[in-house]
Structure formats: C-alpha cells, structure tokens
Structure 1
Amino acid sequence: MSDLARGVMFSILTVIFGVLTSMLVKELAQELSIIRILIFRFWFALPILILCAFLIHKKKLFFVNNKLAMALRVILGLSSITLVFLALQNISLGLATALFQSSIIFVTLASPMLLGEKIGVYRWSAVVIGMIGVLFITNPFSSELSVGIIYGILAAFTGAALSIILRKLGKSDSPFTITLIHNFFGAFVVSSVGLTIFPTQLTASHEGNVWLLLLLLGILASFLQLSVTLAYRYADAVVVTTLRYLQLPAAGIAGFLYFSETPTSLELIGASAIFVSSLVIVWREFVRKTVNTPEETKLAL
C-alpha cells in the first residue's frame, strides 16, 4: 500500500472515529455531567496512547523541545475539548460539527498576523462566505442566541488557535509525544477540577452500560488522535484536511438517523456555506503549495 493510500485510509478512519466519538458524547451527556465525561474520556484514552508513545520513543516518550508551545497546546486543547462537549450537549450533532469545522476560517483570518502568510482574493472570498454561513447558523437577529451555539463558536475559536500552535509545535516535537502529554495533563487537570469544584457531580452511580460507553469513548478518542497523527504522517496536509470535511455531512446524517435531528433551512444554508468555504480554502492552499514546489520535486512525486 502506498503512503498516499495509507494517508487516505487513516483520514477516513479519522472521520469515522470523530463522528462516533461525538455521538457517544451526545448520548452520555443526556444523563452525565460534562466534567464526568471528560474525566473518563481522558483516563480511558491514556493506556493506548502511553503504549504507542513508548513503542516509538522508549524512555523519551515525555520529552519535548518547545515547552512553552506544549503548555499552550495543553491549555487550548483542554479549553477546546470542553467547549466541544458542552456544544454537543446543547445543540444538534450536525450543527455542532458545522461550527467546529469553521475553525479553518478563523485560522485563515489569523494567518497573516500570526504565521506571516499572504491571503489572496480566493481565500478572502472563502472567508467571507464562511462567515456568512456562521451568521446563518447563529441567526444573531433572532430573539435568543442558544448557549450551545455560543459554545460551538468558542470551540471554533480555540480550535483555530490550537491549529496554529500545533503547526509550530509539529516542527520541533513528535506528534505522539504531543498527544500523550496533552492527554496526561488533561486527565489530572479535569480530575482535580472535578474533585475540588464539582464533587457532587462525581458521586452518582452508573449502570453497566454507561461504564461500557465511557470506556468505549476513551478507546475511540485514543484511536481518533492516533489516526489523525498517522494520516498527516502518510499524506499531504491538504489531502487529510479535505477528507476530514466529510465529517460534516456524516454528522448531519448520523444526527438525523440516531437522534432524530432535523436542521432548519437557515442551518442547512449556513452549514453548506461553511463546507464550501472550507473546501475553497483547502484548494487554494493546495494550489499555493503546488506553485511553490520546485519542478524537480514535482517530478519526484
């Protein structure tokens, strides 16, 4: 199997694991607090991640070069996953996924200032279309703005900031180590917060099927992060990013079939605008990299 085929395979697995993880969070959030779901998600994900990092890096599985960027990755990662879970608890699966996917729009907006990238007319046009899509979904002129939509937008902002940090961190450190440290600190931080601030939310007993779902969530979360890491290892980032946008229609279909969620016309228009705008941004990134690739490199591909 070629590297590209492996990259495509892991990208598709990322979409599948991403949708299944979101469905599990939404299902569990109907009877459990978010802090409890987060605690077990982090702890149950750790064994597989520790094993993979140890097999690759042996005793240096916790070694990082850029400690400041790693600290920011942990903070932004914890903030992002908390907001994602809160959004999934309060709004439909398809709507939440559409808002999460809009993070690439905010990355594009921040790129000139934070990454020194030049943004052309195509990508600026895509950003405008994407922002219009966000406006359609949030519907700011309505009488009420759903708290779940606010969580979704904040998740997109933190996800965008996280993407920028990961771009910098990926140049100096192993993605397996980055993932392990994020989950390791996440497990201790959310457990400490739960025990000190929300102790009453951790005392309720669970039925056996709830424990099974929590264990499955942790395992799927570890598979999700590993599949993302391996997808970027074997395929170009543009290929991986494009395929990951399959998660938007997949989440909409899953929400309709499993949770009986029916989007409004405005939500459909907004999600479609975000989807199209994100694909245009990815396409222009591909064109930009192709133009900047030396002819000898193209022939070698």
Structure 2
Amino acid sequence: MTKLDEKKIISILQKNLVSTTHEDVEIFRLGKNFGVIKTDTLVQSTDVPPQMSPEQIAKKSMVAPLSDFASKGVKPKHGIISVSLPRNYPRTKLVRLASGFREASRQFGVKILGGDTNEAKEIVISVMLFGVAKKITPRSGAKVGDIIITTGTFGKTGAGLGILLKNGRSSGKFRKDAINSVIEPRPQLKFGVLASKYLDSSMDSSDGLSTTLIELASASKKKFVISTIPKENGLDEFARANRKNPLDLVFNSGEEYEIVATVSQKNLPRLEKIAKKCKISLIQIGHVQSGKGVFLQSGKKQIPIKNKGWRHFT
C-alpha cells in the first residue's frame, strides 16, 4: 500500500473539494475585492518544544497563518480560534494561554471573534484568519530577470531545535538567537503588506527554504539560480560543533516564517526602503532564468537543490 505523505493527502483533498488554483491562503470573490481566509493547526507533539510557555504556544499558533497572510500582502482583520486541551489542564496555564492570544491579536491588529473548545490528549490549536484585499501576490508570477529575495537569514531554527531537543552544543549570541527563533517566531506581516505591490511572486518559508524555492519556481515555470546562501552568522561554527551540514540547516530546517519573493530590478530600491522602515534585512539570494528547477551556483557549476523541507507524515 502506498504511504501517504502531506503532499499526497492535500492533492487528494483538493482534487475532490477545491476548484480554484492553490495558493498559501484561500481566496474568493467579495464584490470588487477578494475575501481571504487561512487556517493553520498547531499540535503539541509536533510543533511545541517542552521549553515553550503557554503564552509562547498561543503566539506561535497565530504566527503560522499570519506569515501566510504576510507573503500574500494581506492584512488580516478577524480571527477564530479552536482550542483542544487535555482533561484537567491547569487553570493557571489556561489563563496564560488566553493572555498569549490576546497579546498576539493586539500586536498584529486581529480581532478574535470567537471559536470552539474540545477535549484532546494534547494541546491542539487551530487558528483561522479573515481579511479582504484588492490584490494577492501569487506564487506563479516570477519573471525572467527577477531578483530572488528573502526577508532574513536561515538555519537558526534548525540549530535552535537541535539545542532545545537534542542538547546541541552552542553558546553566546548565536545560542540565544537560535532558541528565540523557535520559541518566539515572528511573521513579517508589516513588510509583506507594504511590499506586496512591488513583488512578482511570493511565499512564506515555514516549510523550509528548499521547499519554498522549488514551489515558487514550479508555479512560475521558471528556473531559479541561487548565488548567495542566506546563512545566519555563527551557523558554520554550530554545524561543526554538532556534526551538521550547514547547507542542510539553511535549506531544510523550516519554521523560519520569512518571506521569499521575486522582484524586478526596477522595484528593488523600493523594497530596500520598505525593509529599512521595517528594520529587517533584505537579502538578494539569486535570480530567475528561463527553464525549470532550482540550482545552487558553485563556481561554474550549478548544483540542483532538492526538496527536503518539512512535511508531515514523513
């Protein structure tokens, strides 16, 4: 019997239920505008390191759908939260969980309308966000000559999970930043909304940089050539100390919640001004060519980048 992975499960469900083109958010016509919906589910055993506080768990459950809204250039307005908890979950922790939802909703301007509760063997939180937009930045818009950009570096989360779950060796600023990237993730919502009019294609990187690049290139039917590795300072040292491949940490860790996008040369200066306003690093990592696939430029050679990002059920 063929084993189902996340991609196959989604494909089967979409084939039977969905008639529209797949994006990172669900889109429907709302008069002259688009209605935009996104739902995401956090599960304790797969998404929550034991070091996370209730407040951090609540915030992370909202970060995932917020990051997809960011990559599409849409500001969410309303949300619904479904919370399933183990029997006898402590009242003090529940109050802290609610406090985390409240803080995140205030920070990102999302009004929580209500939701549902249920009993489960572990914490399960589903967050659904709603918004309205005139334009959605697609996956499929990359053009030949576009510059490929990211809103930050990669590899910290893979290192952070190694530190938290496997006692990975690290110290100083890198250790602190790596752990914070896991327990306090931040979506690039402000940048995504302000930059959307200048982007040709865009995706959130939470499934891993390799997955994001390959899906963008495939949707756009173009070839992506990566010439600069968006590597976090200190990552090489961490990789050596823990016998890890730094390229694997950069391309395949996942949960970075950065925006990966393509932009024309003429619009790049505008994006750089927006990035400065948002106090983030905008990194040019490559360019778009005619053809297909994603390749890492190494001298005169182009090495294929394989899709090894995060997938459930594998």
Q: TM-score, normalised by structure 2?
A: 0.28
The structure, 1 or 2, with the larger RCO (C-alpha pairs under 8 Å, 6+ apart) is 1
Structure with greater strand share of residues: 2
